[in-house]
Structure 1
Amino acid sequence: MPPFDKIKEEGKRVTGEVREKVTGYILAALGLVAGLAWNEAIKALIEYFFPVSGGGLLAKFVYALFISFAVVVVSVYLARIMQRKP
């Protein structure tokens, strides 16, 4: 294979990797935006049911613990899936 063909082939491979990474970053950013929107919605729901003068602080801590637990469970599940991949 001539050197020019090797360079051309390597350029195609790098271009594909860059596109894959950029797509992943864009999807992660959109996921973050969706997560922030849900966070605001849940905070508003907590404030609606537990006014600031009441048990709002406790409800927010319960929410934070629940979200933390859910993130750990999903992370462990995804890590196991990635380990099974050949």
Structure 2
Amino acid sequence: MVLLAVLAWQMRLQRYTPIVHWLAVVVLSVTGTLYTDVRTGDLLAIVFGVWWARERTLSIRCPTWTPPRRGSPPVLVGQPGRQLPFMA
């Protein structure tokens, strides 16, 4: 509502008014940030929900491992404390 009111106020003006212009900039920035935070929160909830459904834990320390499917591209995975040949 505030965003719409400020934008309508700015559009009704016949000339540039700095205070109204910058008020619109600030309100639009705050509104955009809040909207992005809400959407990101929804996305994180989906990601963690899928993670929980698949792993039955949200711990990054003990993920369950399933062998790759046939035809999957190889993945380079090193052991802790050991360098892979290309890292030497």
Normalization by structure 1: what TM-score?
A: 0.49
Larger helix percent: 1
Larger Rg: 2
Q: Tell which has more relative contact order, 1 or 2 (C-alpha 8 A, sep 6+).
A: 2
Normalization by structure 2: what TM-score?
A: 0.48
